[in-house]
Amino acid sequence: MGEGAVIERLRRDPAIELDPHLVNSHLVYLEQGRRALAEISGGYLAIARRFGLPLLLSTPTWRASRERIAAAGLKDRDVNGDNFRFLDQLRKGCGAFAERVYICGLLSCSGDAYRPDQALTVAEAREFHGWQAAQLSASGVDLLLASTLPALSEATGLAQALAATGLPYIVSFVARPAGTLLDGTPLDEAVRTVDASSPHRPLAYLINCTHASVFRRALLDPEGSSDLVRERVVGLLANTAALSPEELDNSAELIEEDPELFGRSVAALRRDLGMQLLGGCCGTDDRHIESLARYLVEQGAVIQP
């Protein structure tokens, strides 16, 4: 099981101030910030532990590139490593269940994740993301995750940067109902291109920041998707709103989905499409993840240590 939203929940907390450069990566250096992060991630840990489901947590490093760290005045800090160690301490507090918690080092695109026109070229992305990939790899994470990717060019270069670390890694796209990335690239072409871009191809692919109904349509689309896509894409971190990225970007309010409906529809992707990793993205909280966990267990998804 994947975790639920983190940044969106922090954004709604009046006691928390997100950084204009790092978003939430700086919070590990603030007492109130550490408490807020621990409450959110600890809640997801508690749900997974209660239902006996393995859990994938992501480091709060979505924007922790070298350039952004410097702009935030933290260039003398090991921001990526400190965020991993923070999560690792939470994991160690779970006793024997800690062996079933995996921590991925999180990266994303350099610009707006809903703006494919801001994407870097392959060469630019390989250079830009290489430093953070190396930092996360050295910190001790179990694997790397590049998420919320809107365009093929930057995804390809980012994947090459992750491959260079030697760690297993996952690439996660934002998808449209027609089975394409936000830049219009068919999912089949995207998977084939990234797989072929390095001898050390991704462990698998995910879709995130996408509603379950959109994900289902995208994977079953006869033109954008394919048998290869359904083999290589192994899961979804789902939004609660069935809106386009453009509509979400311009929405003044958080659009939530009933937790029961969310849990049932996302868990059904395991039964219907064989998805192996399911969790939440924008709009989700403990209620949605608990509902998802319950439906997964009802399907027999508990995996023994």
* Residue 94 is assigned to a ligand binding site: no
* Residue 209 is assigned to a ligand binding site: yes
In a domain, 303, yes or no: no
pLDDT digits (tens, 9 = 90+) for 77-94: 999 999 999 999 999 999
**What would the two tokens of residue 248 be?**
């979400």
In a domain, 44, yes or no: yes
**What would the two tokens of residue 130 be?**
């290489």
CA count, 13 A, side-chain hemisphere, 155:
31
Nearest Cα neighbor of 83 from 9, 161, 135 is: 135
Q: Which residues contact 231 (CB under 8 A, 6 or more apart)?
A: none
Backbone phi, psi, residue 70, to 5°: -65, -45
Task: Tell how many helices (H) and how many strands (E) occur in the chain.
Answer: 12, 9
**Residue 274: C-alpha distances to residues 63, 266, 267 (Å):** 31, 12, 10
In a domain, 1, yes or no: no
pLDDT digits (tens, 9 = 90+) for 197-225: 999 999 999 999 999 999 999 999 999 99
In a domain, 166, yes or no: yes
pLDDT of residue 65: 98
| Average pLDDT for 240-253 | 67
pLDDT digits (tens, 9 = 90+) for 130-141: 999 999 999 999
Using the predicted structure, report yes or no on whether residue 244 has a pLDDT greater than 80.
no
Q: State the residue for tokens 């935030």.
A: 72
Contact 59, 141 (CB under 8 A): yes
pLDDT of residue 241: 81
In a domain, 71, yes or no: yes
pLDDT, mean over the chain: 95
**What would the two tokens of residue 53 be?**
């489901």
* Residue 104 is assigned to a ligand binding site: no
Give the containing element (helix H, strand E) for 180.
Answer: strand 180-181
In a domain, 125, yes or no: yes
**Residue 297: C-alpha distances to residues 7, 54, 270, 293 (Å):** 27, 12, 11, 6
CA 145/CA 118 separation, integer angstroms: 20
pLDDT of residue 305: 45
Q: How confident is the model at residue 248 (pLDDT cuts 50, 70, 90)?
A: low
pLDDT digits (tens, 9 = 90+) for 6-55: 999 999 999 999 999 999 999 999 999 999 999 999 999 999 999 999 99
pTM given for the model: 0.95
List of long-range contacts for 74-77, beta carbons under 8 Å, 24+ apart: 74/22, 74/26, 74/29, 77/29
| CATH number of the domain bearing residue 92 | 3.20.20.330
Domain encompassing residue 204: 7-298
In a domain, 262, yes or no: yes
**What would the two tokens of residue 234 be?**
């192994």
In a domain, 305, yes or no: no
Domains in the chain: how many in total? 1
